[in-house]
Structure 1
Amino acid sequence: MSLLFSPLTIRSVTLRNRLWVSPMCMYSAIEGVPQEWHHTHLAQFASGGAGLIVAEATAVVPEGRISPRDTGLWNDAQRDAWTPIVDAVHARGARIGVQLAHAGRKASTWWPWAEERGSVPAARGGWGTVAPSAIAFEGFDAPEALDEAGIAEVVEAFASATRRALDAGFDVLEIHGAHGYLLHEFLSPLSNHRDDEYGGSLENRARLLLEVTEAVRRVAGDGVPVFVRISATDHAPGGFTPDEAAVVAEWAVAHGADLIDVSSGGLVAHQHIEVHPGYQVPLADAVRQGGRIPSSAVGLLTDGAQAEAVLAEGAADAIFAGREWLRDPHFGLRAAHELGDEVAWPDQYLRARWR
């Protein structure tokens, strides 16, 4: 059996393989409640052979949504709507996680196919945003800097959303600390100009992420895996660096995280990214620190052989993919076929397995 299709056990959860679906926003919720679209969208990946499916960035408070159409877990109606989606994934043999998120200064924006761009005005359903410092993302409205009481409320919101996620049946929890959203904004000196215990040194800038990680772990208990997604570089001068990311990853594991989901960018509009197949794999490798810190790789990983090579080289412990699953919801079955692996197919699809 390939490494890609070998099982991986994290705490009390065994994942049937290491080819996973990245959280991808669908911008199709109503008042934070996932819809039939989410049910079909996520369940199809389980039929297609994914080991783990992580549902999209799901806001822990209403003002933490990227757009008015984002999913949430700040109330029980949202929790109850997630439950049948979780059940559908389980019925197809896969595990499912949810990415708990707060969009910070990048909240209250239009969804990608809207005619408008930038911040949604209050008259059209938008809201004021918050951040570590009152520094706007280019083209967006300026946020309000969080005070210490506001920071404490953010931590409590992640804890409350964790409880609802567990009640809905999610197997894995991921904390979104990447792509320019609130926790990443605290990590980067480009967006964090604070002079209190949440700004300045790397230890201070990481404080909120670590407090959130501790809170999520406390509610999750000992059996549930907790992942942390980070952007390991801002791809911009003066920003968060891979060396800092490796240190923060180690701290996150010490505070209760089980795996670091390594991505990059998203903090500033002037970032410069050289995109090519597997372009973020070296970042996962650096964060992994020779295997001391469990990590996953993501970024233009599009076939079984390529994903297997990343694992065989020791650059990561698992593979997240996004767009390739959108192009082919049966990417897992295809990758297994490419590698010559024998994996379980849905009975309904067996006629297509061999010829």
Structure 2
Amino acid sequence: MTTPDVFQPAELGPVTLRNRILKAATFEGMTKGAVVSDDLIEFHRRHAAGGVGMTTVAYCAVAPEGRTEYDQIWMRPEALPGLRRLAEAVHAEGSAVSAQIGHAGPVANGKSNRVPALSPSRTFSAQALSLIRAASKDDIRRITRAHADAAQYAIEAGFDAVEIHLGHNYFASSFLSPKINKRKDEYGGSLQGRARVARDVCRAVRDKVGDRIAVLAKFNMDDGVPGGFWLDESLQVAQWIESDGSVDALELTAGSSLLNPMYLFRGEAPLREFAAAMPQPLKFGIQVVGGKFLHSYPYQEAYLLDSARQFRAALGLPLVLLGGISTKATMDRAMAEGFQFVAMARALLREPDLLNRLRQDPSTPSLCIHCNKCMPTIFSGTHCVLAGADDQGQPAARPRSR
């Protein structure tokens, strides 16, 4: 079997992408008033112009209490005009566009949202410094329907795909975790019960959209937390989702935004920068105990590949490889090992035009040093703090507004 060229067109469900490289969802921090800004449009236009096959808008909450902070987009009629302008700008550059849809669950900031957050079971929120109530069955059914409605809004806005968020201990992912989900009803207990929300959400979205757009799911291989969701269980859930026929591809991820966020990013944790960006009392908390929450892990290229190989061996479903992909050699390796797509984030924040240059010269090195100092910029407009200052001797450009 011939190994596909990562820069050649590829089918993703009903959509043809110009290449197999996706801009992974990274919360942009450019949605003041929970709607699209000109800066957000320009952010994704630049990635489209830089050569990605599809760019992903993050994070589009399906309900007001599902946001990680108040100024995050939530899918509703008021958001559609801006989303349409964004889709048009991306399409004009030859790229496709996806909306990452989901509910933050216990990761949501109830204090900021002015609406209580929800969890599978009653738990404490370090963000809001308060208890999070357990979601009722009515909440679960409402949120499941809200995912389907959000996908319909994406269609109305002219998007090519939606990416359902099943990772990082957001709502659906938190139900998968035996550490967080202590329920005794049909949504807890056995793996089949804990997987019910994720499977129902994917089914509801597929039933709503049919084959009008592509449906991906961002899926946790493991939470990186003792007693949490792990590979032995996640492989089984992935096989169930495949058998359900509800998604066109899985984007494989890891880590818990609630309990161990650096497990996804790897590399040094930017504690000083996070503390500087946060208001009190979170600033004080990061300064005092941040190192116990934001662990540092060794960084290496394609650091999720070893785990992802197990999914590739067990599934026939198209898979997206994520995690420290910065070079053409790594993309070629992913293609050779049977992954249909790759997703990039930090390297493209550093250089939105990296793919155009890699197409011309595959040996082009990435300038991203994976310092992770882009992470705290979500509070002011996501960007690489080194871009501009290192490359042209000028201060790094900052977005005009959120």
Give the TM-score normalised by the residue count of structure 1. Answer: 0.87
Quote the offset at 1:138 in angstroms: 4.2
* SS, match of residue 99 in structure 1: strand
Identity of aligned residues (%): 30
Quote the offset at 1:280 in angstroms: 0.9
Separation in 1, partners of 2:308, 2:362: 23
Per-residue CA deviations over 1:173-232 (Å, capped at 9, x if unaligned) read 110011121111001111101010000111111100111101100111124211111121
Residue 197 of structure 2 aligns with an amino acid whose one-letter code is L
Alignment of 1:128-277 (within 5 A): 128-138=116-126, 140=128, 141-255=130-244, 256-266=246-256, 267-269=258-260, 273-277=297-301
Equivalent of 1:38 in 33, 37, 40: 40
Separation in 2, partners of 1:12, 1:105: 33
Consecutive aligned runs of 4 or more in structure 1 exceeding 3 Å deviation: 137-140, 269-275
Separation in 2, partners of 1:317, 1:211: 25
* SS, match of residue 195 in structure 1: coil
Per-residue CA deviations over 1:142-186 (Å, capped at 9, x if unaligned) read 211011111110011111111111000110111001112111100
Separation in 1, partners of 2:315, 2:193: 26
Tell me which residue corresponds to 2:308: 284
Separation in 2, partners of 1:274, 1:7: 34
Separation in 1, partners of 2:209, 2:156: 11
Alignment of 1:6-21 (within 5 A): 6-21=8-23
Quote the offset at 1:243 in angstroms: 2.1
Tell me which residue corresponds to 1:307: 331
Residue 182 of structure 1 aligns with an amino acid whose one-letter code is F
Per-residue CA deviations over 1:87-128 (Å, capped at 9, x if unaligned) read 1111111111000011111112xxxxxxxxxx746xxx5432
Quote the offset at 1:290 in angstroms: 5.3
Separation in 2, partners of 1:131, 1:251: 23
Tell me which residue corresponds to 2:319: 295
Residue 255 of structure 2 aligns with an amino acid whose one-letter code is G
CA RMSD of aligned residues (A): 2.0
Equivalent of 2:58 in 53, 56, 59: 56
Segment of structure 1 superposing worse, 225-234 or 264-273 = 264-273
Segment of structure 1 superposing worse, 138-147 or 317-326 = 138-147
| Number of aligned residues | 326
Separation in 1, partners of 2:156, 2:127: 38
**Which segments of 5 or more consecutive residues in structure 2 lack a partner in the other structure?**
261-292, 365-402
Separation in 1, partners of 2:315, 2:81: 38
Whether the aligned pair in 1 keeps the contact of 2:13 and 2:215 (CA below 8 Å) is: no
Residue 151 of structure 1 aligns with an amino acid whose one-letter code is I
Equivalent of 1:25 in 27, 39, 43: 27
Quote the offset at 1:17 in angstroms: 0.6
Whether the aligned pair in 2 keeps the contact of 1:262 and 1:298 (CA below 8 Å) is: yes
Give the TM-score normalised by the residue count of structure 2. Answer: 0.77
Whether the aligned pair in 1 keeps the contact of 2:177 and 2:228 (CA below 8 Å) is: yes
Residue 247 of structure 2 aligns with an amino acid whose one-letter code is A
Q: Tell me: CA distance 1:326–1:178, structure 2 relative to 1, closer, same or farther (3 Å).
A: same
